[in-house]
Structure 1
């Protein structure tokens, strides 16, 4: 495999990154999603007075780039929604797989 993305804390002097991607011996502060090629980043800031206590979420794909700084409460709400959606999506995949086995 040429690259590996993972969720892990990477602490730097001015910030902490939470998604990293190892590619060709270099570590990037984002994770690239295989299906879409979208790069995602999640960061907290250690030294920027206006950003301390905020979570910055970034997404970029080609010319499109989105960045938003949100509160910890908002970050937790979005994380909970993503976990619930992931659970439901996995259940739908499992149900479709079982249905395919039954009809075969």
Structure 2
């Protein structure tokens, strides 16, 4: 299996859905772990650790499936992507809900 990315637009079109899926998986795992840990661990720390683990696992699985050699800068990119996934998992969903409720209240005022 070979994936050829020719330019920045193709890279963004490939990575963005992957980040969204990783964010959803991170949110689901964090919610389950919160129930299991009885809130003994801060949720943001749990989300950050979970996002990094999920992202790195997905990265290594991708490299294994596509027979891509793992290079240090690719791992660094996966860690940076994990930070983005953690941020989106921690703050993205709440901001999305807040925006939807604000849009709903604007429509109700008209």
TM-score normalised by length of structure 2: 0.33
The structure richer in strand per residue is 1
The structure richer in helix per residue is 2
Task: Report which structure shows greater RCO (CA 8 Å, sep ≥6).
Answer: 2
TM-score normalised by length of structure 1: 0.34
